[in-house]
Amino acid sequence: MRILITAFFDDNFGDMLIRTCFTQLLRTALEDLGFEGRDHIIDTMPLKEADEKKITDADVLFFAGGGLFGLSYLNFSESLKRILDIAEASGTAVVFSSLGANNMDAGEEDTDELRSFFERNCIKAVSVRENPDMFRRYAEGTDLDIIPVCDPAVWAGHVYHESAKKYKSAGSVKPLVGINFVRGGLFRANDTDWNMEKEEELLYGLAGRLEEQGIDCRFFTNGSAMDCAAMLQFAEDYSIPKDKYILCDTARDLVRTTAQFDAVVATRMHSSIVSYALDVPSLNMVWNPKIPFFYENIAYPDRALMPDDWSVDNLVKKVNDLLADSDYSRDSEYMMSLYRFIAGTVGELLDQAKETDIYDYETVCQKLSEMEVPAEEDISDMRFKLLRAETQYNKLKKSKANQKAELKEEIRSRNKELKALKKENEKLARKNEKLSEKYDKVRAERNALKRRLERIDNKPIVRLYHKIRGIRR
């Protein structure tokens, strides 16, 4: 039996956590259903690198989760269509797990295209992490049952159980708050009227006020090379010491970093999800509709802050509320919703449904804690981040080269225009010189005529004639 897992590979390590946590839950479910390691092969495939052979050879293809559905600027729709086309043609069963939505501002034509994703025979099961009613509308007319589940990363605390062990600086008694930092372009890309300058001013002001209250703070990123570059610029602009910010290089780093905090002020949604996985209370600045859905799912809707609530005073108050929330913890039923979906779906697809109950929450936690996330995952994360940073560098380098070439071409064009204007100016100068000469000649002739007329007017006979005729000179 061949199982293929596809997910969005990114240096925003929330996306990597989706894949890793889903994979470990799937392994647990296979063991739960009685499959031994030799009975199955699990492979992975980046969402944007559809491998026709892998898809064709697979018995089951799982989309591991994330905001893949919709009209996002990340252009997931084309990738989904490509993969589904191959799966449909080859008879590979497809399961959408923890499917999320992104930028759902669809017109009628777009709506028809999105509906068509659910009309394919290859799709055997769908679970969604948010807004199930919307997905049910798109799946209307099919036999699919849209099942609400959690995001796989809420299991990160058990999947990365060693990294999740909390630690604090020796002798430190201050509460420690994590402040999540992102690139300014994230807001514009999601139609939110905000930018990096406003973000820097807000978060720096928040950290300063919390420090005044005796609360320690650390700025951190989810790993994105662009977020890290923005963070370094922020640190330089505001003279922030190196021990006051953290640049995560792997998904494990993100879990380890979050584990040390007593509360988190998040911008990226997976900062909130990882915090939830570690029993760390959080709030989230809302720049995408998916964020309020997550906080509704965990029964804290008031911790998703709309842009009108983004002020230092309000954030300080909210952070103090988080630090005072001693009862905050994960909901095992919410977490088990995904495990039940995975185990139930795999059992049905492979005709291996259990006669007895599947693992309970405690057993799933134990099984996950007994597994190890391979070190190769960390290497893969770092390699991907370096590749993304290199890509961004080359893109910037190419952009600057293009700008230089455009400037050079503009200078050449301007010089050509200047040369033509200079030539025209010389032509006009010669024409002006000729006109001046002609003008001087005409003026001289006029003056000569004027003098001649004066001589004639002064003759006695002319003066007598003028007198008789009553002409005044």
At 395, which amino acid appears? K
pLDDT score at 71: 72
CATH number at 7 reads 3.40.50
User: Is residue 69 a contact partner of residue 100, using CB atoms and an 8 Å limit?
Assistant: yes
Q: What is the pTM of this model?
A: 0.82
pLDDT score at 151: 98
How far apart (Å, rounded) are the C-alpha atoms in residues 349 and 125? 10
User: Is residue 221 a contact partner of residue 227, using CB atoms and an 8 Å limit?
Assistant: yes
User: Is residue 264 a contact partner of residue 275, using CB atoms and an 8 Å limit?
Assistant: yes
User: Is residue 100 a contact partner of residue 128, using CB atoms and an 8 Å limit?
Assistant: yes
pLDDT score at 103: 64
292 and 367 assigned to the same domain = no
220 and 102 assigned to the same domain = no
Q: Supply the DSSP symbol for 336.
A: H
Q: Which of 244, 125, 233, 229 is nearest to 177 (CA)?
A: 244
- Domain span including residue 53: 2-150+331-373
31 and 64 assigned to the same domain = yes
Helices (H), 190-242: 196-212, 225-237
How far apart (Å, rounded) are the C-alpha atoms in residues 211 and 321? 16
At 367, which amino acid appears? K
94 and 242 assigned to the same domain = no
pLDDT score at 258: 96
91 and 166 assigned to the same domain = no
How many domains are contained in the chain? 2
What is the number of alpha carbons within 13 Å of residue 278 lying toward its C-beta? 29
How far apart (Å, rounded) are the C-alpha atoms in residues 227 and 40? 38
pLDDT score at 337: 98
pLDDT score at 379: 81
Backbone angles phi, psi at 258, to 5 degrees: -65, -35
Q: Which of 114, 121, 159 is nearest to 19 (CA)?
A: 159
pLDDT score at 396: 67
In a domain, 443, yes or no: no
pLDDT tens over the chain, length 473 residues: 899 999 998 888 999 999 999 999 999 999 999 887 667 899 999 999 999 999 999 999 999 999 998 876 778 889 999 999 999 999 999 999 999 988 655 555 567 778 888 999 999 999 999 999 999 999 999 999 999 999 999 999 999 998 777 665 555 679 999 999 999 989 988 888 899 999 999 999 999 999 999 999 999 999 999 999 999 999 999 999 999 999 999 999 999 999 999 999 999 999 999 999 999 999 999 999 899 999 999 999 999 999 999 999 999 999 999 999 989 999 999 999 999 999 999 999 987 666 678 999 999 999 999 998 988 888 888 777 777 767 766 766 676 777 777 778 888 888 888 888 888 888 888 888 888 888 888 888 888 888 887 777 777 776 777 777 676 65
In a domain, 35, yes or no: yes
In a domain, 214, yes or no: yes
169 and 186 assigned to the same domain = yes
Q: Is the dihedral of CA 230, 236, 240, 243 positive or negative?
A: positive
pLDDT score at 274: 97
In a domain, 83, yes or no: yes
116 and 41 assigned to the same domain = yes
How far apart (Å, rounded) are the C-alpha atoms in residues 163 and 175? 20
